[in-house]
Structure 1
Amino acid sequence: MRGINITKTEFDLDTEIHWCPGCGNFSELKIMKEALTELGIKPKDLVLVSGIGQAGKFPHFMKAQSYNGLHGRYLSAALGIKAANPELNVIAVSGDGCTYSEGGNHFIHTIRYNPNIVNIVHNNMVYGLTKG
């Protein structure tokens, strides 16, 4: 199996990543860092907002402003951050359980506002942090 080539970006932190070997989050993290670099977005202009679970650990592994919210409530925080400072790039990251189960109503509420935020949902069909 070929390894993932890691490109150094401004978003890199010298932090040990605690995901299971073979987890898809590694490639998602790599792609996000590369895309943000390609778009010319700087860490100071980015806010990562997350819920709980394995996907919710994204902000721990990237240099950026961040907020780690409650289970299912991360989109409400992302919406508030964007409303308070529309110039910021806001990316919300969470898992399918956090987003669609606990956060289902918050997800619908956020869609109604149609904010200029990115919501990335990791669909692994399991509550990963609780060993689902």
Structure 2
Amino acid sequence: MMTLPVDYESDDYQFLKTLNEDVQVLPVSPTANHWDIQMENDDYVNLTGKESLRNAICIAIMTRFNELDSIPLYEEFGCRAHQLIKANKSEMVKYEIELYISEVLENMRRIQEVNSLKVSDSDTCSYLVEFNVTSVNDETITGSVNI
């Protein structure tokens, strides 16, 4: 069995283990709503600490609610915002997206507090979601995702 390379000397690994490890995903392009697993030297890119939490947040937001329900560990995992995919853009839809994403963030065990969450128009058919959270070990994490 092959394991991902880990930087055992990094501060993230040594001091932020409670934030877990993850395989990195990034947008295919700056304007794309499609993300993909990152590869380096024919292997997955492994993340730890704050970067792992930011990555996990993006994965949770981008996963449709109950998409992984066949895996017991992931029952009721994901974000309901995808139910609004064909809804016309409006302030109410923006508000619902904010509620759904807030629910996802508040249900993540690695997040202590949601400091801010902003949903704004990104272009004619998507929204930009910006978040700022405090992790369980008091690290502040910011990030964004287009949905």
TM-score for both structures, normalised by structure 2: 0.29
Higher RCO (CA-CA < 8 Å; seq separation 6+): 1
- Larger gyration radius, structure 1 or structure 2: 2
Structure with greater proportional helix content:
1
Give me the TM-score of the superposition, normalised by structure 1: 0.31
